[in-house]
A and B are shown apart, each in its own frame.
Chain A
Amino acid sequence: MKNKIPELGIKVLLLFPILFLFSCHSSDQQNAQSSRRTDTVVIQQMQFVPASITVQKGDSIVWINKDMVDHTVKEEKNGFYSDTIHVGKTWKIAATENANYVCTIHPTMKGKIVIK
């Protein structure tokens, strides 16, 4: 019994920093996740609004088609592709790198993603 008290103390002393570090790491992860934003690009009047959007790496971007006709969002170098975004529908991605994109149905419509 006498030996068990110091043994318990040692275990607590060893576990405390581990638990502390774990809680900090977990908190960092939660902070990173909760700090990730979702930004919006509205498709209206045959334009991406805003035409250039600046976001943090990992942030989400959602395109909302408020136009009269269907559109697409395609990265110019064969990266991401939304397929058809029908009138009133949305499409979302996590932004990972700078990108120039177009609407493949209306090639005069262009947009840009800039990572901070």
Chain B
Amino acid sequence: MKIIKLLTKSAICFAVSTGFISFSANAQKAVNLTDPEIASIAVTANQIDIDYAKIAEQKSHDQAVINFAQTMAKDHQSVIDQAVALVTKLGVTPKDNATSKSLKAGEAKTIKMLKSKSGKAFDKAYINNEVGYHKAVIKEVETALIPDAKNAELKSLLQNVLPVLKSHLSHAEMVQKEVNK
């Protein structure tokens, strides 16, 4: 049990340190984000997890991993649809920024890493990344996106996204325990 926890922590530390999970641009909180920047980060972060899920749906043979990936693809698409509907209504145009660029750079590295693996090694890499990614996104939403959001409806949407992300994290940790047995 301790070994699994240690391996999980190591995997997350590795992913964060190598830039696979990267919110470094905003981690220092030098400047407050604007609503167009928040919209861009929200859409990008959700799209990245859909991209990971599509790879898992193609490569994994583990039903629990496939089910989890299908849930990620559907849920994050649902969040994107609602976020896009809201920003369209508000007349907010998502604006690329250091955080969204950093997220995309991290995604490129992660996709390369995931594509290099297969079988059980892929399942472990995918689900470990999902645990770390959701932890990082939750932290970013709690400490940067929600506090910085100016528009009340955008802030409310982000507050509603948070339980979805936390549920995904619990689900990922549940699958992780099985995959790492």
* Residues in A lying within 8 Å of B, measured CB to CB: 45-47, 67-70, 87, 105-109
Contact = CB atoms under 8 A, between A and B. Distances in A.
Contact of A108 (B74, B79, B171): B171
A83 to B, nearest CB: 14
Contacts, number: 38
B170 interface: yes
B75 A69 contact: yes
B166 interface: yes
A102 to B, nearest CB: 12
Contact of A69 (B164, B170, B171, B174): B164
B164 A105 contact: no
Interface in B126-174: 160-161, 163-164, 166-167, 170-171, 174
Nearest to B169: A108
Q: Which of A46, A47, A67, A69 has the most CB of B within 10 A?
A: A69
Nearest to A105: B71
Contact of B74 (A45, A46, A70): A70
Contact of B78 (A45, A87, A107, A109): A87
